[in-house]
Amino acid sequence: MTDVKSTRSYSSSVRDEQARRTRARIVQAADELFREKGYAKATMKDIAERAGVARDTVHAAFGNKAALIPAMVDLRLVPDEAVANVAEGPEAQAVRNETDPVRQIELFAEFITKLNVALRPVFDVMRSAAASEPAVAETLAMLEKNRMGNMRVYAGWFAARGPLRMSEAAAADTIFAIVSPDVGRLLCEELGWSRRKHAAWVADMLKRALLPD
């Protein structure tokens, strides 16, 4: 006799995987089109055609264009869906578990500058669209708030390895400023720095600012 429950469970798993792949194709299509055409000119129809799905499927999955941007950030920050937050990923956890304060900051600089490279195109899209699209401006503000929350987590990791030159709250503010995507864009795109040079600068600035003599 066929196990109906097992068959239904299998069918549900297949549908879930198909839905996940469809969402991923839509997000990838939006990522490409927003950078190629600009946020304003890329339509939901364009995104659907690039993803190879019906326009109604895009609307059903995301509702509107602005809702695609957080998904684009998630795709770049945590491509492994088993990881709930970027701070829980293996590179971040290597930073957390490092016992030497100097090496911890160096690992953090490598980790955070890689994230900056990954996120820079999305932030460029958001900043260009935010002036005319209130929903995008709200998303950008939300992401900046989340970024500040992550900096507080990282400041706590540094403080756990020994006393800092400032309070943990002030350390979070300092990290937030030094590793800003805007600073990274200025150094790497305007001044032509490599990602490695940027990482070395971040590490040097953080060690000078946070670690006691």
pLDDT value at residue 177: 97
Same domain, 94 and 182: yes
Same domain, 110 and 23: no
Q: What is the mean pLDDT of the chain?
A: 88
Q: What is the distance between the alpha carbons of residues 58 and 53, in angstroms, rounded to a whole number?
A: 7
Domain count for the chain, please give it: 2
pLDDT value at residue 11: 57
Same domain, 24 and 124: no
111, 202, 105, 106: which is closest to 159 by C-alpha?
105
Q: Is residue 17 within a helix (H) or strand (E), and if so which, with residue range?
A: helix 4-37
Entry field: residues in the chain: 213
Which of the four pLDDT bands, split at 50, 70 and 90, describes residue 18? confident
Structure tokens at 140: 């950008």
Same domain, 81 and 56: no
Across the range 108-118, mean pLDDT stands at 94
Same domain, 56 and 75: no
127-185 confidence digits (pLDDT tens): 888 888 888 898 889 888 989 999 999 999 999 999 999 999 999 999 999 999 889 99
24: left (phi over 0), alpha (psi -120 to 50) or beta: alpha
Same domain, 61 and 108: no
Which of the four pLDDT bands, split at 50, 70 and 90, describes residue 1? very low
Stated pTM of the model: 0.80
Q: What is the DSSP string of 133-176?
A: -HHHHHHHHHHHHHHHHHHHHHHHHHHTTS--SS-HHHHHHHHH
Last residue within a domain, chosen from 12, 38, 65:
65
164 φ, ψ (degrees, to nearest 5): -105, 170
Across the range 10-17, mean pLDDT stands at 66
How many angstroms from the chain centroid is the CA of residue 69? 10
pLDDT value at residue 161: 95
64-98 confidence digits (pLDDT tens): 888 898 888 888 877 666 555 777 888 999 999 99
Same domain, 6 and 34: yes
Taking each helix axis from N to C end, the angle separating 101-130 and 4-37, rounded to the nearest 10 degrees, works out to: 70
Same domain, 53 and 101: no
pLDDT value at residue 80: 60
Q: Where are the alpha helices (DSSP H) in 78-100?
A: 90-97
**Which residue would you say has higher pLDDT here, 82 or 125?**
125
How many angstroms from the chain centroid is the CA of residue 49? 26
What residue numbers bound the domain in which 59 lies?
Answer: 1-65
pLDDT value at residue 93: 93
- CATH number of the domain where residue 36 is located: 1.10.10.60
3-class DSSP state of 78: coil
Same domain, 102 and 196: yes
183, 185, 199, 189: which is closest to 112 by C-alpha?
199
CB distance 199 to 187 below 8 Å: no
How many angstroms from the chain centroid is the CA of residue 35? 16
